[in-house]
Structure 1
């Protein structure tokens, strides 16, 4: 089994960015090589801080750490909040610079269940490979040399604390070489992105004057599966709905009542299955009507990307894929409906021969350009009703459940629309030229990534500011899951990328 994984990894390395070759800017590489242990030590310290957005004290500790860390690199900053987790807004002015780049990253992470991890999520662990390939643990204290293929395992290692470390290391390397940024630098670091950035709109309304810039870089998300560097020009919107179906008022013995009393788990499974066909395509009436199809330029960009579908299928041990043969990048351009959790009774040793009173599913919706949360809610509510359910916006009473098939539809707040920008913009072409010239390697242009970011709020607040996504994490970083990790070479590459942009973007 491991041989199949090694075949994929070797194929990825053939496309790899920065697998040991020297950077075009030797001074950046030389500084990094001489300070690798310190850079990793800083990253380790940052990752050791618990960072679930719902814990305000933890997030304030993270924000305070960031303030101290970036202050050493000449940033003035403030911690701001609007009733949720904190944000850090910062600026470093460069004498003589006429242009400003605004950089976004987030420092909160998904909740982590320690029992599911191979090592504690807030005790950063160094391994010589992925957990899935039995990567061996490496003692931090005995490091002499560092293999760039090693990985750091911790919550937010890949999503999304690395940009803060890499950006500051790039500035340190530039200073050591006697170089200065060609731009003013502004930062907005989000402490609640994984919770949907619910107060970001208020933050932007109150602090927009501190965030104006000539270009915004969203530093989040995984790189292309080929490991080639990429610029990304869109994200999907996101929404979540929890659906609860109901059966008997109390648990019933499945032998006595099975086939007579409706089983809410089965009712809910039938409803969920009716949303898509056997190939995973959404078949809800009218659901796709608002979707904007990809432009010719976006289709062309997808066709020129390295096709990693076969390698991914091999890596993930998939017997087949969905989508009617479309490649993964094309699927990411459209909407999706994913059942991300289901609870209707125990399994394994926890299973019991009973029909439960209720069953609940949590469903994630990814939105494509043209769709709005309001229209999606209307389409789905109509669909649920057409399937014979009576909808309730709060848990129904026993009396209400006795009248008809009740469905509690709990739309979580914070849903938002997709974002898409122009691949051919002057800013994009300038970034591509800078990066390709810096190290002689190709930069991919990707129309959209499958995940979601609250870019639409920045688009609304700064309609004339170009926004481009610059991801740095390895594609197999276990984002949002157990054993999240960052490949060390990706951190080294990020230092190079940030240094190139800061050194060159403000020049004529």
Structure 2
């Protein structure tokens, strides 16, 4: 037998072994390329609708737009889901039920967004007027018109609030089903769709919506489309998320501002007091010094630790990209760090700076901290650990403005306001059979390694799905890592949006 005769059967066998989903993914990609202009035009219209989480009227407009998209693209039983509380942003639901299917997947994304300060955005940008750029603005990208011929460069970016977080997720999921439907592909599982309108406010009423619609929302797995791909550009899957909660501090000193010359060295300075208090909460290696802060952490499993070892290192890349010399936790990689609970100062304020600075001792100093949680932490218990630490530093803790009597009694006074809507962490086992199918489906869309992360650094209320629906969740993000979510100049790279449609489509076709 000749070498050629040996090679040909091997090639045929190789082709036969290729996951059929990869062929289906190519069909979805072809459909997306052919219909790019329609997809981008519709997406831009979606981005033009303001969606700040605190503005219910515009959120309802977003929900109506999503319903219209779903109806046009063949999704059935499209409706709004509510909880017991009236006038809250509804969830948008739809479904595609397959005769004889015994497994159900629910695809989740959220349509609300973070607040915007237009003055912080690039002077050529407006948060709710989508604009197309040839590259990232900080990489000398330039503004260009949306092409009339529908020919897009995958490196181009759309700038607008929620372009990445998380209207890209909504758009990718709906268009993925449209591509499947119009390409003649047939899902084997029941597909359900759930788009939340309060995620950026802490999903305040999600528990109500889940409880009120428990029967409708039964499934075998929720697939969450939110967040960025790996910093290396590789696709990744998250098996869990960190929890989150906030604490708000106000330190009090003199009842009126004082001249720093006449009273300096004598009158307590609340800014200095607050700085010293916050500094007492961490050591020089970034480890939280609060008693018991790490005690209830549930360790990673053997499978999770093995996955963590395969995550590509991007630490040096990110240091260069961000202009920093070292990490806060010097003995931990980025992936290791996000699998630990954290304490972060979101912001501090006291007195004035810049042109408004004056030689004074201010009356108060304020700060907001956020506590990220991992599996085992409870958000209320973690809050209390911080408060106990503050008391040990000699502070009288109150939840109100201090009275004159309290001012005379206590040398250190702090008002602490607890976030009432904290969320706990959640993690799904990597060893579940359906999870392994999800991994294979994502792998079928790329030639690169798919990064498997035990925990996402960010937070989502995924523990609620476990608590009220007794189901598992897994997160498959699509946005570029440098998307500026939650901040000014938010954007989505077109390649990520198109890849996201292909990824979501492959997941809808798992068998």
Instruction: Determine the structure 1 residue equivalent to 2:120.
Output: 116
Are the counterparts in 2 of residues 341 and 361 from structure 1 also a CA contact under 8 Å?
Answer: yes
Would the aligned equivalents of 1:80 and 1:203 in 2 still touch at CA under 8 Å? yes
Aligned residue in 2 for 1:267: 273
1:25 Cα deviation from its structure 2 partner = 3.5
More moved, 262-271 vs 22-31 = 22-31
- Structure 1 counterpart of 2:81: 80
Count of residue pairs the alignment pairs up? 483
Note if 1:216 corresponds to 2:225.
no
How far apart, CA to CA, are the structure 2 residues paired with 1:416 and 1:175? 37
Q: What's the counterpart of residue 502 of structure 2?
A: 496
**Corresponding residue for residue 257 of structure 1:** 263
Q: SS of the counterpart of 2:213?
A: helix
Contact 1:23 1:496 in 2 (8 A): no
Q: Which residue pairs with 1:5 in the alignment?
A: none
User: What SS class does the counterpart of residue 459 from structure 2 fall into?
Assistant: coil
Query: Aligned residue for 1:428?
Result: 435
Whether 2:99 is the aligned partner of 1:105: answer no
**TM-score normalised over the length of structure 1:** 0.92
Find the aligned partners of 1:212 and 1:429 in 2 and give their Cα distance: 20
Equivalent pair of 2:132/2:145 in contact (CA under 8 Å): yes
Q: Find the counterpart in structure 2 of residue 389 from structure 1.
A: 395
**Match among 447, 454, 461 for residue 447 of structure 1:** 454
Match of 1:27 in 2: 27
Query: What secondary structure sits across from 2:388 in the alignment?
Result: helix
Q: 1:23 to 1:352 in 2, by over 3 A?
A: farther
CA drift of 1:322 comes to 1.5
C-alpha contact (below 8 Å) 2:351/2:362 kept by paired residues: yes
Tell me which of 86, 94, 99 is aligned to 1:95: 99
Larger radius of gyration: 2
The correspondence of residues 101-500 of structure 1 with structure 2, limited to 5 A, is: 101-118=105-122, 119-140=125-146, 142=148, 145-404=151-410, 405-463=412-470, 465-500=471-506
Distance 2:53 2:275 in 1: 32
Secondary structure of the structure 2 residue equivalent to 1:26: helix
Mapped partners of 2:352, 2:165: distance in 1: 32
SS at match of 1:409: strand
Off by >6 Å, runs of 4+ in structure 1: none
Q: Tell me whether 160-169 or 436-445 shows the greater mean CA deviation.
A: 436-445
Structure 1 residues 440 and 97: alpha-carbon distance in aligned structure 2, compared to 1, 3 A threshold: farther
Shift of the 23–341 alpha-carbon distance from structure 1 to 2, 3 Å rule, reads farther
Q: Offset of 1:344 from its aligned partner?
A: 0.5
476-485 or 143-152: bigger deviation: 143-152
1:411-460 Cα deviation digits (max 9, x unpaired): 11111211111112211211122332354443221101111000010011
Q: Distance in 1 between matches of 2:100 and 2:398?
A: 60
- Deviates further, 251-260 or 379-388: 251-260
**Which stretch shows the higher mean deviation, 286-295 or 415-424?**
286-295
Equivalent residue of 2:456, what SS? coil
Over the residues paired in the alignment, what is the CA RMSD in angstroms? 1.6
Q: What's the CA shift for 1:333? A: 0.3
Distance of 1:440 and 1:116 partners within structure 2 = 39
Mean Cα deviation higher: 197-206 or 159-168: 159-168
